[in-house]
């Protein structure tokens, strides 16, 4: 993995051909608005932690169906728990009307 923009853009190594250009993973990047510091504006569109976790969960479920093992089951449980906590954070922020704003 190579970090292009910390927290936002990564180049992921290919598994087989390490010499080939890797896959780019772009997360959404937001910055405070100059006119309204609590309002966030999108600098680069991209995916979210939640979407990446959903992909990993789906992949792990697929692998677990073919090659079941305790370690896969534990990893899957922790990924599902991570997604649950991130979804709870978003729901709490929406309830407080601070989602998408630079407020705690």
Q: Are 43 and 31 in contact (CB under 8 A)?
A: yes
- 4 pLDDT band, cuts 50/70/90, is very high
pLDDT higher than threshold 80 for residue 103: no
Residue 20 token pair: 């080939």
- 100 pLDDT band, cuts 50/70/90, is confident
Residues 29, 12: Cα–Cα separation, whole Å:
18
Q: At what angle do helices 49-66 and 70-95 cross, to 10 degrees?
A: 160
Instruction: For residue range 5-58, list pLDDT tens digits in order.
Output: 999 999 999 999 988 999 999 999 999 888 888 889 999 999 999 999 999 999
Give one DSSP letter per residue of 19-60, joined into a string: TS--EEEEB-EEEE-SS-TTBEEEEE--B-HHHHHHHHHHHH
Judged by DSSP in three states, 9 sits in strand
Which residues are CB-contacts of 52 (< 8 A; sequence separation ≥ 6)?
25
Mean pLDDT in residue range 70-96 = 96
Of 26-40, 52-66, 72-86, give the lowest mean pLDDT range: 26-40
Task: Calculate ∠ Cα 91-53-3, nearest 5°.
Answer: 110
Looking at residue 27, its pLDDT comes to 98
Looking at residue 18, its pLDDT comes to 87
């Amino acid at each position: 993995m190579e970090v292009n923009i910390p927290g936002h853009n990564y180049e992921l190594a290919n598994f087989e051909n390490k010499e080939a250009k890797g896959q780019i993973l772009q997360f959404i990047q937001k910055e405070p608005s100059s006119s309204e510091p609590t309002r966030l504006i999108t600098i680069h569109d991209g995916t979210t932690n939640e979407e990446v976790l959903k992909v990993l969960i789906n992949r792990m479920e697929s692998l677990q169906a073919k090659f079941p093992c305790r370690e896969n089951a534990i990893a899957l449980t922790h990924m599902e728990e991570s997604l649950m906590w991130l979804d709870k954070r978003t729901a709490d922020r929406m309830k407080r009307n601070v989602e998408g704003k630079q407020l705690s």
